[in-house]
A and B are shown apart, each in its own frame.
Chain A
Amino acid sequence: MTKRFKLIDLDCANCAAKMEHAIKKLDGVQDAAVSFMTQRLTVEADDARFEAIMDQIEQVCKRVEPDCRIVRQ
């Protein structure tokens, strides 16, 4: 399943690249892209564990860029 999320307060292009790198390494994530230009996160991950994986992704992002928030409906 592939989902797209809006990112708020993603201020630095290098941080976006670091986030993307860290998210891709997470278990269960098939592919991920953080676009600094559109301020979007695209995640492709296992359906069953998607929410759990998103929790992990949030933690990873917090570590790289504490100000940045992921909008999850």
Chain B
Amino acid sequence: MNILTNMTKKQRRMLSRILAGALLLVAAVLIPYQGPWRFLLFLPAYFMVGWDVLWQAARNICRGQVFDENFLMALATVGAFCTGFFGEGEYPEAVFVMLFYQVGELFQGYAVGRSRRSIASLMDLRPDYANVEQDGKLVQVDPEELQPGQVFVVKPGEKLPLDGTILSGSTTLNTAALTGESLPRSVGVGDSVQSGCVNLSGLIQVRAEKPFEESTVAKILELVENAASKKARAESLITRFARYYTPAVVIAAVALALLPPLVVGGWALWLRRALTFLVVSCPCALVISVPLSFFAGIGRASRQGVLIKGGSYLEAMAAVDTVVFDKTGTLTQGVFQVAEIHPQGMTEDQLLELAALAEGRSDHPISRSLREALGREPDSSQLEEAQELSGRGVRVRVNGKTLCAGNRRLMEELGVSCPSTANGGTVVHVAVDGAYAGWLLIADRPKPDAKEAVALLKQEGITPVMLTGDSKAAGEAAARELGIEQVHTELLPADKVAQVESLLTAPDRRRKATLAFVGDGINDAPVLSRADVGIAMGGLGSDAAIEAADIVLMDDKPSKLAAALKLSRRTLGIVRENIVFALGVKALVLVLSALGLTGMWLAVFADVGVMVLAVLNAMRV
């Protein structure tokens, strides 16, 4: 049986005690003796199931822990035996209550342990060893012993132990553990690779760039372990509530046992009702289900490549009503590409080649993007003379022709008329021997899923805002393309903080709504920390991002934002459900048992049942 093998030794022992206790209980019920010593028949079953509870109760009471759950259960069941002796209620009840309580504890331990393990295995990133060549042989060493600059070998199927650069070999990497991206990534010589990825196909030699404790894996592990200590408001609220709940219920029980009988009599009857109070006084269902839900939420998110640094940020994320995006590198790819080609009297390829030829071999982003779009090096053997015209463009002589490439001003100087063009990028006009040849638009393209991401957020009722240091034309064009209505352009980093500030204090916002800022982590640290939720893109390798942000999207996809939002809302929804449900049932049981409408049977059933349901619900996240 699967369940059995998943149990710890302690849990299996408990299970057999519960089964044995149940058998002893049935046997005791079946023995027909009805005399005054009947309760002795039930003691074996009672002690079989509950001796540890009694033992801990005794031990804790010596230490002054009055409101300890073991003590309360012990008191309730011993009390039930006593009232049974005086003719109210029955002995099996006391055993049953203890039995059921133990079943609940066992289930809780099992379920929590299982979810903890399954979430922990998601985060099972830690590499066990690194292969290092020593005297011509591969030796496995502890990743923590490797120094930057040392070379290690990663075989197919192995985890990369440290961040580094590939020296030889090429392969595909599974980055799912880091980014949630299931598509393997192809890498070759010179590419930088992150620890925690799994090598899928080829043997690679990698030079370590960082020591283990600064590698991606160590950072993520640190972050995830830390997440549990940043508790959500809901969690502290519940633990604070639990501190008052138990004493309150116990005091109510004492009052119930003493006050009504003074007026109407019937001591044993009221004592029984009071004991039922003790059964429902344990706040465990609440106290366990809230952190369990948050833990499950954080675990689920990390499986999708979204690192959340604590329950409190999950909570803040769920209340977001405004998402402020940085443009470059967040919504756009942050690299210039040829977006449009409009030739006149030649093919697109010819125009592209002319432009690339003119712009030359410089490392300027524009000329690089032209060469990239062309897909080959332009034939520059005929290039005779190149002249840079500052602020306007370039003029070169090729094959006896004069080739000019540059902006509108250059064309006007040449006396060439050029058509009106699109904005939102850099336009390069080309003229050959004073005749217009066409223009190219070079722009920073939006990421493929940026538009979808914005649409998804809008669907969820969130206002997207774009901030950018770019020109008005470029910024507004990008915003229009992505469907963002609110855009602020030409901002310096300090202006971005001011913009976020004014959005935060806008008069028409809902009071508890929060604001998220999404940036690529570079230059964004002040804004990231000013926003309610700071979200950094492209956590891979960017230390600044991991440190400054509350949430890190491990791959560069803005659409993960919508996923994170949905997940956080779902988690908070489940937390709320659990709190309302558990409190509701407990209140109901308290009222019913005060009125004498329900006995201990139902009370323990309700109490354990609520806990089981709350735990199952939490694991649904």
Q: How far is the CA of A42 from the CA of B284 in the complex (A)?
A: 22
Asked if A69 lies at the interface with its beta carbon under 8 angstroms from chain B, I say: no
Instruction: Evaluate contact between A38 and B225: CB separation under 8 angstroms.
Output: yes
Q: In chain A, what residue has the closest Cβ to B224?
A: A38
Asked if B87 lies at the interface with its beta carbon under 8 angstroms from chain A, I say: no
Instruction: Evaluate contact between B242 and A17: CB separation under 8 angstroms.
Output: yes
The listed residue (A21, A35, A38) touching B243 by CB distance below 8 A is A21
Q: In chain A, what residue has the closest Cβ to B243?
A: A21
A33-B231, A40-B229, A66-B59 are known contacts. Are A13 and B288 too (CB-CB below 8 A)? yes
**Which B residues, 14 to 41, have Cβ-Cβ distances below 8 Å to chain A?**
none
Asked if A51 lies at the interface with its beta carbon under 8 angstroms from chain B, I say: no
Q: In chain B, what residue has the closest Cβ to A63?
A: B63
A21-B243, A35-B291 are known contacts. Are A14 and B284 too (CB-CB below 8 A)? yes
Asked if B109 lies at the interface with its beta carbon under 8 angstroms from chain A, I say: yes
Asked if A71 lies at the interface with its beta carbon under 8 angstroms from chain B, I say: no
Interface size on B, residues (CB 8 A): 27
Instruction: Evaluate contact between B292 and A14: CB separation under 8 angstroms.
Output: no
Binary flags per residue of A31-69, CB closer than 8 Å to B gives 1, else 0: 001011111101000000000000000000001101000
Instruction: Evaluate contact between B65 and A64: CB separation under 8 angstroms.
Output: yes
In the assembled complex, the CB of A37 is this many whole angstroms from the nearest CB of chain B, namely: 4
* B572 surroundings in chain A (CB, below 8 A): none
Asked if B239 lies at the interface with its beta carbon under 8 angstroms from chain A, I say: yes
Asked if B282 lies at the interface with its beta carbon under 8 angstroms from chain A, I say: yes
* B329 surroundings in chain A (CB, below 8 A): none
Instruction: Evaluate contact between A14 and B283: CB separation under 8 angstroms.
Output: yes
Q: How far is the CA of A63 from the CA of B66 in the complex (A)?
A: 12
Q: In chain A, what residue has the closest Cβ to B56?
A: A66
Main secondary structure of the interface of A (DSSP, over half): mixed
* B60 surroundings in chain A (CB, below 8 A): 66
In the assembled complex, the CB of B106 is this many whole angstroms from the nearest CB of chain A, namely: 11
Interface size on A, residues (CB 8 A): 20
Instruction: Evaluate contact between B291 and A33: CB separation under 8 angstroms.
Output: no
Q: How far is the CA of A3 from the CA of B69 in the complex (A)?
A: 30
Q: How far is the CA of A45 from the CA of B438 in the complex (A)?
A: 69
* B228 surroundings in chain A (CB, below 8 A): 33, 35, 37-38, 40
Instruction: Evaluate contact between B292 and A37: CB separation under 8 angstroms.
Output: yes
A4-B225, A21-B239 are known contacts. Are A37 and B295 too (CB-CB below 8 A)? yes
* A35 surroundings in chain B (CB, below 8 A): 228-229, 291
* A37 surroundings in chain B (CB, below 8 A): 112, 116, 228, 291-292, 295
In the assembled complex, the CB of A11 is this many whole angstroms from the nearest CB of chain B, namely: 6
Binary flags per residue of A7-32, CB closer than 8 Å to B gives 1, else 0: 00001111001101100000000000
In the assembled complex, the CB of B66 is this many whole angstroms from the nearest CB of chain A, namely: 12
- Pick from B63, B229, B292 the residue with the most CB of A within 10 Å: B229
* A63 surroundings in chain B (CB, below 8 A): 63-65
Instruction: Evaluate contact between B284 and A12: CB separation under 8 angstroms.
Output: yes
In the assembled complex, the CB of B144 is this many whole angstroms from the nearest CB of chain A, namely: 15
A-B contact count (CB 8 A): 60
Asked if B287 lies at the interface with its beta carbon under 8 angstroms from chain A, I say: yes
Q: How far is the CA of A42 from the CA of B229 in the complex (A)?
A: 7
Q: How far is the CA of A36 from the CA of B166 in the complex (A)?
A: 41
* A64 surroundings in chain B (CB, below 8 A): 65
* A14 surroundings in chain B (CB, below 8 A): 69, 239, 242, 282-284, 287-288
* B243 surroundings in chain A (CB, below 8 A): 17-18, 21
* A18 surroundings in chain B (CB, below 8 A): 243
- Pick from A11, A13, A36 the residue with the most CB of B within 10 Å: A13
* A66 surroundings in chain B (CB, below 8 A): 56, 59-60, 63
* B292 surroundings in chain A (CB, below 8 A): 37
Q: How far is the CA of A66 from the CA of B59 in the complex (A)?
A: 9
Instruction: Evaluate contact between B284 and A13: CB separation under 8 angstroms.
Output: yes
Q: In chain A, what residue has the closest Cβ to B310?
A: A33
A36-B288, A37-B291 are known contacts. Are A12 and B225 too (CB-CB below 8 A)? no
A14-B283, A35-B291 are known contacts. Are A40 and B225 too (CB-CB below 8 A)? yes
Q: How far is the CA of A18 from the CA of B291 in the complex (A)?
A: 14
In the assembled complex, the CB of B356 is this many whole angstroms from the nearest CB of chain A, namely: 55
The listed residue (B59, B65, B226, B291) touching A36 by CB distance below 8 A is B291
Instruction: Evaluate contact between B282 and A11: CB separation under 8 angstroms.
Output: no
The listed residue (A4, A11, A13, A21) touching B291 by CB distance below 8 A is A13
In the assembled complex, the CB of B255 is this many whole angstroms from the nearest CB of chain A, namely: 23
**Which B residues, 52 to 66, have Cβ-Cβ distances below 8 Å to chain A?**
56, 59-60, 63-65
In the assembled complex, the CB of A35 is this many whole angstroms from the nearest CB of chain B, namely: 4
Q: In chain B, what residue has the closest Cβ to A43?
A: B229
* B231 surroundings in chain A (CB, below 8 A): 33
Q: In chain B, what residue has the closest Cβ to A31?
A: B229
* A4 surroundings in chain B (CB, below 8 A): 225, 229
In the assembled complex, the CB of A67 is this many whole angstroms from the nearest CB of chain B, namely: 8
Q: In chain B, what residue has the closest Cβ to A9?
A: B10
The 3 closest A-B pairs by CB, nearest first: A35-B228, A33-B229, A17-B239
Known: A12-B284, A14-B284, A37-B228. 12 other contacts (CB 8 A): A4-B225, A14-B242, A14-B287, A14-B288, A33-B228, A33-B229, A33-B230, A33-B231, A35-B228, A37-B116, A38-B116, A66-B59
A-B residue pairs in contact (CB < 8 Å), sample of 8? A13-B284, A14-B283, A14-B287, A17-B242, A17-B243, A35-B228, A36-B112, A38-B228
